[in-house]
Amino acid sequence: MSGSIISENTLQSVISIVKEASSLMVGKGYEVFEKDGFANLVTSSDIAVQEFLTGRLSELLPGSGFICEEEDFHDTSKELIWIIDPIDGTANYSRGIADCCISVALAKKDEGPVLGVVYSPARGELYSAIKGGGAFLNSKPVHVSDRPFENGIFCCAMSTYRKEFAKTCSDIIYDVHMQSNDTRRWGSAAIELCLLASGFVELYFEMRLQPWDYAAGALILSEAGGCIASFDGKAPSLYAPSLVVAANTPGNLQRLLGIVHDHMDSLPY
């Protein structure tokens, strides 16, 4: 597939579609359902946003595939694949907390993400990137900070949906907390990776994320000069759940990964 398909025009079209989709999140009633256990929520807005996005993005790039969070909507046989989290931070959304967003990535099958858009209507933040073109927040370029580990703000989570991993998470989080400035649990992986990209925070760890949680944020972070990796130090998979560490600098990433390895010889899933 030629590189020209990922043009600034494509990005602007995706941004328009994502902004249109966000009207389905804002200012209307929604129903909340549980899926796979009490901690994992889905709302009627998640479903509506995903249906809108898949329809409009198929029209934009006919023949493209999809990896979406809701309703087992997967077709990875195509060369270009949309990776969509219709609402990242659903628990926040369902409680009226602003930290939730739509996350859309476009990946080339053998190359990884080439376009990423993360839009949080309630925060008024639209992050975007095309591979090789830098990262942007509301059209202004962003870059990671150069703060050392000791001054870093650390974003993390305690393995909400797989609580059998929570103790290991807690041990890792404690060690990082003791070596860094402070710790946050925001509740939206996509927003946290974008905050890292924009220099607001420096360190990120989560035990088990899905590709739709990080695909767009990973590209935005890389384009902003940051680093992201899985347990093995390689890029997180776009086709399977992954442990994710991310940082503003390669040195901070290696130190973070070292702390993870202090507590785990191998991935427990």
Q: Which residues bind ligand IPD (CB under 6 A)?
A: 85, 88-91, 157, 160, 187-189, 206, 209, 213
Q: Which is nearer to Ca ion, 192 or 202 (CB)?
A: 192
Q: Which of 122, 123, 111 is nearest to 81 (CA)?
A: 111
Cβ 88 to ligand IPD shortest distance, Å? 4
The three-state secondary structure class of 35 is: coil
Q: Which is nearer to ligand IPD, 6 or 84 (CB)?
A: 84
- Binding-site partner at residue 188 among Ca ion, ligand IPD, none, CB < 5 to 8 Å by type: ligand IPD
Q: Which is nearer to ligand IPD, 110 or 164 (CB)?
A: 164
Q: Which is nearer to Ca ion, 6 or 24 (CB)?
A: 24
Q: Which is nearer to Ca ion, 46 or 202 (CB)?
A: 46
- Binding-site partner at residue 215 among ligand IPD, Ca ion, none, CB < 5 to 8 Å by type: none
Are 2 and 114 a contacting pair, CB within 8 Å?
Answer: no
The label of the residue with tokens 């890389």 reads 222
Beta strand 112-120 pairing with 125-130: antiparallel
- Binding-site partner at residue 209 among Ca ion, ligand IPD, none, CB < 5 to 8 Å by type: ligand IPD
Token pair listed for 145: 């900070």
Cβ 85 to Ca ion shortest distance, Å? 4
Cβ 240 to ligand IPD shortest distance, Å? 15
Helices (H), the chain: 8-22, 44-60, 90-94, 166-179, 189-197, 211-223, 250-263
Q: Which of 169, 230, 225 is nearest to 197 (CA)?
A: 225
Token pair listed for 18: 């994502």
Cβ 57 to ligand IPD shortest distance, Å? 18
Site residues for Ca ion per CB under 5 A? 69, 85, 87-88, 90, 213
Q: Which is nearer to ligand IPD, 130 or 219 (CB)?
A: 219
Q: Which of 144, 158, 156 is nearest to 227 (CA)?
A: 144
Cβ 231 to ligand IPD shortest distance, Å? 16
Angle between helix axes 250-263 and 166-179 (nearest 10 degrees) is 140
- Binding-site partner at residue 202 among ligand IPD, Ca ion, none, CB < 5 to 8 Å by type: none
- Binding-site partner at residue 230 among ligand IPD, Ca ion, none, CB < 5 to 8 Å by type: none
Nearest-CB residue for Ca ion: 88
Cβ 242 to Ca ion shortest distance, Å? 13
Number of neighbours of residue 15 by Cβ within 10 angstroms: 16
Q: Which is nearer to ligand IPD, 157 or 215 (CB)?
A: 157
Query: Which residues, 6+ apart, have CB-to-CB distance to 51 below 8 Å?
Result: none
How many alpha carbons lie under 13 Å from residue 167 in its C-beta half-sphere? Answer: 2
* Cα 137 → chain centroid: 15
